[in-house]
Amino acid sequence: MEVLILRINKITEIKAGIFKNLSKLNQLYLRENPNLTTLNPKAFYDLPSLEYLDLSQTGITEIKAGTFENLPKLNRLTFQNHPNLVIRYIGFI
């Protein structure tokens, strides 16, 4: 699988290991999940091929340090419509 679109669902949390069998995934769309408020810092750890991540229009208010550390190919990260988003130190920025 290369593209996973999970927009407009009732997702509330992304736990560590949830994507462990999707190492070839290069695009992940989690946008338009307003109940998505929690990202485990290791949630995307198993996605070494991920190039694009869309977290727009979710309920996320904080991105913890280390959340994007194991994403060597990530080149586009989208956070549209997050007026209260707090981003802790993220290594690739």
pLDDT tens for each residue of 83-93:
777 776 555 54
Amino acid found at 81: N
First to last CA, the chain: 28
**36, 15 Cβ separation under 8 angstroms:** no
Please state which of the four CATH numbers 3.30.2310.20, 3.20.20.70, 3.80.10.10, 3.30.70.2470 is assigned to the domain occupying 1-93.
Answer: 3.80.10.10
Whether the full predicted model's pTM is greater than 0.75, yes or no, is: yes
Q: Name the maximum alpha-carbon separation found in the chain.
A: 33
Which tokens belong to 44?
């995307």
| DSSP symbols for 64-88 | -TTTTTT-TT--EEE--S-TT-EE-
pLDDT tens-digit readout, 10-69:
999 999 999 999 999 999 999 999 999 999 999 999 999 999 999 999 998 888 888 888
